[in-house]
Amino acid sequence: MTIRTRFAPSPTGYMHIGNLRTALYAYLVAKKDPAGVFILRIEDTDQGRLIQGATDIIYDTLKECGLKHDEGPDVGGEYGPYIQSERMKLGLYKEYAMKLVDSGHAHICFCKEEDIEAQKEVAEAKGESFIYRDPCKKLSKEEIQKRIAAGEEYVIRQTIDPNGKTSFDDEVYGTISVDNETLDEMILLKSDGYPTYNFANVIDDHLMGITDVVRGNEYLSSTPKYNLIYQAFGWNIPRYIHCPPVMKDETHKLSKRNGDASFNDLVLKGYLPEAILNYIALLGWSPSEEREIYSLPELIEAFDVKRINTSGAIFDIEKLHWMNGVYLRQMDMDRYLELITPFVKTSVHKDYDLHKIAHILKERVSLLNDIPEMLDFLDELPPYTIDLFTNKKMKTSPELAKKSLIEAKKYLETVSDWQSETLHDGLLNLAKELEIKNGQLLFPLRVALSGKSFTPGGAIELADIFGKEESLRRLDIALDKLNEA
């Protein structure tokens, strides 16, 4: 059987990390099968929560991450429409809801939701569990027709026999059994004609031939009720893969409702889509080998649902920061230059060699948004004091810095072939002649050129970027400061 999975988000805002991980796992499960099909379905039945433009965000996010769907609203397919509101116009959900009513697996309910919620609150206040059993099941067909004819609003609610158990197998959590008497009779079709998520996803999964359902473990408790619908129709039940939550900390889930970072937020901060995708793959899944960096094709090869964990995984921004740096360092120089240029030009407006700037950044940058601040000294020398010339590790002081910079200036004034190789050999020879350590010459020179003790490049690299005239000008400023002191 060809594997068919689906990612079925609601267009209610930016793509949060847990949602994107669900999309990734569903994609990986499908693509383990060479003929596997990954489907995008937009679930927009909750009309009150829809946000304009959110569907485009879903398309853009999947595209940025390389999670190409084989069927969906924007690419078509033989199982469309792939937007639930458009499927509703075909009368699909009401048709199947009425079939359940006719078979006794659902019923028409006139009870108001606010009254049921009030009953639930009373029960919870007493410390009692609340399982709703609908009294409308006892109404005769004549009474139901009479109340409908009178214009009373109604919903279609699932009918559950309280006797017995319902069991299902999950690839992550194993076999789960629940007593039917603990299952609420959920609403299938709302009074406005729209299906609930709980009903629509079962109907659509069956009609679209979904073989493997990948979703968060918050749906474990609802799955027995879904299975009762499958059984009522005599349909095959899909393979279930319920994933643990992505956690903010030990006790709180990562949630866009709480303002936690979405995929878009992370990209705007300078994280690479491929690094984000790699990182979230490891949130709740453990590869069989000791490695952490995976391309998408490598993830397809390595992914195994049996290695998904049952416990939640904490989102560690520092780990993502590290991984992003690995991706930047491994990137080919042409793409890296193209990527960083907008960030460089945010703070660097003078005509410096971008290739040289890219070279000093590549091994030192983990986040693209850090670049402007790291290079803010290139256009203008920032104000600084001679305290910067004191460094215990380098064993430098203002007095030593003055002597080193005087000699460095003398040497640099003689250089005609101004390039990094020449500067490297000449300055290291100078340190040897002065009988000082390399750092005792190069650290003061770095401070003099940048006005900082930490820079993305060393003294030689900075001098190469600045050129002879600007390097000597900044050296003069440093010597003036040291002489005044």
Cα separation, 173 vs 181, whole angstroms: 22
Q: Which amino acid is at 343?
A: F
Cα separation, 273 vs 267, whole angstroms: 7
* Alpha helices per DSSP H over 54-112: 54-65, 84-88, 92-103
| Residue 83 DSSP class | B
Residue 422 contacts residue 485 (beta carbons within 8 Å) = no
| Active-site choice (256, 356, 403, 409) | 256
Tokens matching residue 270: 């300078």
Bridge partners, 40 (sequence order): 7
Cα separation, 216 vs 203, whole angstroms: 19
Strand duo 187-189 + 155-158: pairing: antiparallel
Strand ordering across the sheet containing 165-170: 37-40, 4-7, 212-216, 239-243, 165-170, 174-179
Q: Residue 138: how many CB atoms within 10 A of its CB?
A: 8
Question: Who contacts 128 (Cβ-Cβ below 8 Å, separation ≥6)?
Answer: none
Strand duo 187-189 + 313-314: pairing: unpaired
Tokens matching residue 305: 């649902």
Residue 38 contacts residue 8 (beta carbons within 8 Å) = no
Q: Is 403 a catalytic residue?
A: no
Burial 99-113 (b: 16+ CB within 10 A, else e): ebbeeebbbbbbeee
Q: Residue 406: how many CB atoms within 10 A of its CB?
A: 12
Tokens matching residue 424: 């490297």
Instruction: Give SS3 for 322.
Output: helix
3-state secondary structure 172-188: CCEEEEEEHHHCCCCEE
Residues with a catalytic annotation lie at 256
